[in-house]
Structure 1
Amino acid sequence: MNTLIIYDSTGTILSSPITGGYIKPTGELHYLEVEITEGKVVTRVDTTKMPHVPVYEDIPKTELEKLQEQVENLTQANAELTSIVAMGNTNA
């Protein structure tokens, strides 16, 4: 997804589809048009490099995603325990 990011001299993002609030800029305003890959978000812009470089991070998991992962892990652990108990009963 192509998006326009407006940022100040410190690399703080002032305007993008991600930010919702207002931040007073420090120094000059700059912009970048960047491609944001799925599952990533631009958190700031590294202004120490020329040309300036966006800094990407993974989008944090939602509570629902965390719970789904926990259910999958518990289901797998339960299956393993059931298998261990079933093997124990056949050896007795």
Structure 2
Amino acid sequence: MKTLVIYDNTGYIILTFNAPYRVPEGGINYLEVEIPVGQRVTSIDTTKAPNVPNFEDIPKTDIEKLQEQVASLTQANAELTSIVATMET
């Protein structure tokens, strides 16, 4: 998805917009970038020409972390149940 990133001369991101948007004219710095799935733009490297966006992984939400814990506990419970069942026979 194309995203408009507005940033200052140090590379600090001021705003990001998803389509539809109007491309700025004049004295505003901007980039149109493709943001990879699961990542976000953290800053713009203004030391390179043309300027380059810096990406990082989007951190997992608390819900995602809890879902992983539930899945792990469910698997551990299934393994323990299997062990107990084989001990009883």
Q: TM-score, normalised by structure 1?
A: 0.76
2:47 aligned residue: 48
Percent identical among aligned pairs is: 64
Runs of 4+ in 1 over 4 A off after TM superposition: none
1:13 aligned residue: 13
1:69 matches 2:68:
yes
Indicate if the aligned counterparts of 1:9 and 1:29 stay in contact, CA closer than 8 A.
Answer: no
Deviation of 1:29 after TM superposition, in Å, equals 4.7
Indicate if the aligned counterparts of 1:5 and 1:32 stay in contact, CA closer than 8 A.
Answer: yes
Unaligned runs of 5+ in 1: 19-27
CA distance in 2, matches of 1:55, 1:35: 12
CA distance in 2, matches of 1:29, 1:87: 70
1:89 matches 2:88:
yes
2:78 aligned residue: 79
CA distance in 2, matches of 1:17, 1:63: 26
**SS of structure 1 residue aligned to 2:56:** strand
2:34 aligned residue: 35
Number of matched pairs: 81
Deviation of 1:70 after TM superposition, in Å, equals 0.8
CA distance in 2, matches of 1:40, 1:59: 5
CA distance in 2, matches of 1:29, 1:85: 67
